[in-house]
Structure 1
């Protein structure tokens, strides 16, 4: 009997010892997991702080040359139902005493699922219906109602939703290039250019500072006129993107966004800009597909009283071409 009791007590002690050991092991695992989570939390916080400090450093570097605070525009952009991030890009020629004009109208489209980037240019003389203002050149929409009316005009004519806008005026363009590219942007200039651009450009591969690069994308005093200018604008945007990627790594991206932000009037927040830019800089292939509206064989020159020489387009053909380009 005493032996039975002794064995029973020994068994109970063993079970208690095993339970105690299991609790100790669970406790050690909890401590290890807690330690891992704390380390990850600290690393994430440090990365976030570093990104913020880099961003503020870029802002501080640029604000030394920024003038007056940019005008604030209302913008009722909507998210594209197909999941694309569509941004209205506007190049504005702001002059004192005059309404700002848009020499550049583009749709930059980012597909986060596929990681693709597309750029569609709408020529400024394209003759379309502008909500509550009748028919006119599409670039007059900005003078009538800022980026919001441009958005409405594109939606009404081409059935494309635009979620964000970004406006860069001539001065901002020059400052962005000079600040981000102290040694200039490498571009192949295809011919001698000087008329109405404020600088003289010689043919050949060369590094252009902001003022000369602006002259390059503004030039249209040749046989192809505005068509050549649109082609050069798209070329420069792709070149700038590729050259950013050659010397800017993802950790430097927040500072780059900080450099650009003071010169760009946009409703894009810093997080979105970094996210889109990170995808571009991280890709092995950074091909940007481009399109011009109107597409070939879909327009004719026409003179309209009060508007001058315009591009009269086959609206249905161009609407379908733009939607196919963006969505397929």
Structure 2
């Protein structure tokens, strides 16, 4: 081989290497664009155009290079093999991207993705084995079919206790396309089926989730479609996994948290007034404070307001992530934290599909009892007289709650959402 032939082959080899790198870069760039657009289905034509253009440019380039190679088969066998591999890669990548386009942009594809994700996520949940798996939930009246109510339960398990420190009804309303949180205050004085009247938070300790379901239905007229339960330790873990939550503290809140054991780890008692990122231990302590006003609410009213504030902060953090990032994050949470539930696999997939379709940007908040419709009372509980909350008018309380959850326009009572 003379010097000219050597230089030509060296030049062709360099071109081949550049093309290989270019193909890899094209893949990286297209995958990046895909990740950014996975959760944005409003610009399907543009996204599909980008995919097709990228594939067309790549395949055209590879075919042109193949024509150059065929002119010099005897001196460039390795180059031919390399470009054959690139051509196969382009074909496989084309099929892959068309498959992705199908999954992302068609109703059937979206449903398939959600079912796969739902099955995977559900496998990491702690299904309540004490519930009858084949037990059918009551058929909903037609006017309630558009609403799904899931009870979020935070259980205090310190020194053998099993009272519900927080009870929040998370509502998905597909009619008005909303997600809502309703706090049920733990000191509400309610009827407990099979027992004498007591605070709402005692129902779980007396009869588990079934008795809590029955108590909520009896007193508030709201049926539940499932529950999800965590204890304090699991709550902390979830906050830490997502990288903390943004919380705004008053001067009094910051001072109180830094000098009490609500933040159980002394090393974390360094919060400040104003906006900041709290870790799991700090956020749990904040969520349990009730002896300091939030600025608008005091006592247990302040506690439930703080709990809703943390849940809203979690929602704000998660909604900013694309579907790929969210998938990895949920996998980590459900791998490390066991969340107990009685929701079946099919129900879980259905709820997931409904929630994704809503595309909600913020949560709506409410609290029972509502302002102006309760009184503080002292009643005999065991051997002691203890303070409880009593709605002044149960009919008004139920009407307010129903209007907030179901969007019931038949009620003339004005709903005043909690802060």
Query: What is the 5 A alignment of 1:78-93?
Result: 78=138, 80-81=140-141, 82-83=144-145, 84-93=147-156
Partner of 1:322: 401
Structure 1 residues 300 and 92: alpha-carbon distance in aligned structure 2, compared to 1, 3 A threshold: same
Question: Which has the higher mean CA deviation after the structures are superposed, 279-288 or 235-244?
Answer: 279-288
List alignment gaps of at least 5 residues for structure 2: 1-94, 104-108, 408-419
In the TM superposition, residue 74 of structure 1 has moved relative to its aligned partner by: 3.1
The higher relative CO (CA closer than 8 Å, separation ≥ 6) is in: 1
Q: Secondary structure at the match of 2:320?
A: helix
Partner of 2:343: 268
Question: Which has the higher mean CA deviation after the structures are superposed, 73-82 or 161-170?
Answer: 73-82
Find the aligned partners of 1:50 and 1:318 in 2 and give their Cα distance: 41
More strand by share: 1
**CA deviations over 1:206-253 (Å, ceiling 9, x no partner):** 111111111111111225111111111111111111111112x22444
Q: Secondary structure at the match of 2:272?
A: coil
Structure 1 residues 294 and 271: alpha-carbon distance in aligned structure 2, compared to 1, 3 A threshold: same
Partner of 1:212: 282
- Contact 2:163/2:201 (CA < 8 Å) preserved in 1? yes
Structure 1 residues 73 and 99: alpha-carbon distance in aligned structure 2, compared to 1, 3 A threshold: farther
In the TM superposition, residue 256 of structure 1 has moved relative to its aligned partner by: 3.9
**CA deviations over 1:163-219 (Å, ceiling 9, x no partner):** 10111110110111112x1x3222212231323402533211111111111111111
| TM-score, structure 2 as length reference | 0.59
Q: 1:303 aligns with which of 378, 388, 405?
A: 378
Partner of 2:320: 246
**CA deviations over 1:25-57 (Å, ceiling 9, x no partner):** xxxxxxxxxx9xx969x965995797489759x
Query: What is the 5 A alignment of 1:1-328?
Result: 47=113, 51=117, 55=121, 72-74=129-131, 78=138, 80-81=140-141, 82-83=144-145, 84-96=147-159, 98-179=160-241, 181=242, 183-190=243-250, 191-192=253-254, 193-194=256-257, 195-197=260-262, 198=264, 200=269, 201-223=271-293, 224-247=298-321, 249-261=322-334, 262-269=337-344, 272-273=347-348, 276=351, 285-306=360-381, 308-314=386-392, 315-328=394-407
- Contact 1:80/1:163 (CA < 8 Å) preserved in 2? no
Structure 1 residues 114 and 52: alpha-carbon distance in aligned structure 2, compared to 1, 3 A threshold: closer
In the TM superposition, residue 267 of structure 1 has moved relative to its aligned partner by: 1.8
In the TM superposition, residue 144 of structure 1 has moved relative to its aligned partner by: 0.5
More helix by share: 2
- Contact 1:253/1:278 (CA < 8 Å) preserved in 2? no
In the TM superposition, residue 257 of structure 1 has moved relative to its aligned partner by: 3.7
In the TM superposition, residue 118 of structure 1 has moved relative to its aligned partner by: 1.1
Find the aligned partners of 1:202 and 1:275 in 2 and give their Cα distance: 42
Find the aligned partners of 1:88 and 1:151 in 2 and give their Cα distance: 9
- Contact 1:122/1:292 (CA < 8 Å) preserved in 2? yes
Structure 1 residues 288 and 48: alpha-carbon distance in aligned structure 2, compared to 1, 3 A threshold: closer
List alignment gaps of at least 5 residues for structure 1: 1-34, 64-68
In the TM superposition, residue 298 of structure 1 has moved relative to its aligned partner by: 1.3
In the TM superposition, residue 287 of structure 1 has moved relative to its aligned partner by: 2.2
Find the aligned partners of 2:165 and 2:222 in 1 and give their Cα distance: 20
Q: How many residues align?
A: 279
Find the aligned partners of 1:111 and 1:144 in 2 and give their Cα distance: 31
Q: Secondary structure at the match of 1:235?
A: helix
Structure 1 residues 205 and 273: alpha-carbon distance in aligned structure 2, compared to 1, 3 A threshold: farther
| TM-score, structure 1 as length reference | 0.74
